[in-house]
Amino acid sequence: MSFLSRIHRKARPVLLFLVVMLGIVGSILVEKRLIRQFSTSVSSLYQDRLLPATGLFQLNDLMHEKRQLLAGFLAAPTPAGRRETYTQLAGRNVQIDSILERHQATYLVADENQQLRAFQAHLRHYNALEKELLTAPVPASRAQAAAAQQFARIHADLRHLNAIQQRVGEELSHNSRVTEGQATLLSNLTIALLLAFTFAIQYALLSDRHPLVPRVMQKFRLN
């Protein structure tokens, strides 16, 4: 019976060690997963929100430049001015297509994708009206009014896209803060678990040795 008791006392620290080590390994795995989630959120904030938001501002500036170039030509149409305006507008269109291509390569939520398609449809219509106004011998007032209407729709599309960018960016930022808080809490729990394990092992070893009981009394109790 004394032999079994000694085995039981010696096994307690080992069992405590195994339990705590399993807990630590589990917490490390969970913490790594949280860190990966945090890194993904931060990367998405930059790649899918910050860069596209910058592109939206560039699109807005380019559309205003196109509008001013067209208005300048319509105010005083000349053959030379037509060629110059056409070249300038073609350059702006290349820049717009490049920005849209980069924007479509990012992660887009459902309403963002829908709004982007609406923007592209309005842009195609505006470009067609723009070309009509450039090539017509006498620009029609109907085409000018339609172009102004499409420009207003494009401006509204960009405003809505920017609002979606801000909303989704705030959600990603909130998720990043939550994940960071969870990782910090898990690290603190791991430290607390290590401290508890240290005190438990120390207590188990001291209990096994009976330091406060004389050696003669220990033998007497065992017998």
Residue 172: what pLDDT?
Answer: 66
Separation CA 130–CA 125 (nearest Å): 9
DSSP class of residue 1 equals -
Q: Is the backbone of residue 192 left (phi > 0), alpha (psi -120 to 50) or beta?
A: alpha
Separation CA 84–CA 63 (nearest Å): 17
* Three-state secondary structure call for residue 12: helix
Residue 207: what pLDDT?
Answer: 62
Q: 40 near 176, Cβ under 8 Å?
A: no
Separation CA 24–CA 147 (nearest Å): 65
Residue 65: what pLDDT?
Answer: 96
One DSSP character per residue, 138-159 reads: S--HHHHHHHHHHHHHHHHHHH
Alpha-helical (H) ranges within 105-214 are: 110-135, 141-209
Residue 47: what pLDDT?
Answer: 57
DSSP class of residue 69 equals H
DSSP class of residue 46 equals I
Number of residues assigned to the chain: 223
Residue 220: what pLDDT?
Answer: 43
Residue 218: what pLDDT?
Answer: 45
Residue with tokens 């390569």: 105
Residue 212: what pLDDT?
Answer: 43
Residue 204: what pLDDT?
Answer: 63
Angle between the N-to-C axes of helices 79-104 and 51-75, in degrees from 0 to 180, rounded to the nearest 10: 170
Residue 217: what pLDDT?
Answer: 42
Domains of the chain, CATH where assigned: 2-222 (1.20.120.1730)
Q: Splitting the chain (223 residues) into consecutive groups of 10 residues, what average pLDDT does each group show?
A: 52 64 67 61 55 84 95 90 94 95 83 92 96 83 91 94 81 65 70 71 61 45 44
DSSP class of residue 50 equals I
Residue 104: what pLDDT?
Answer: 84
Q: What predicted TM-score, i.e. pTM, was given to this entire model?
A: 0.61
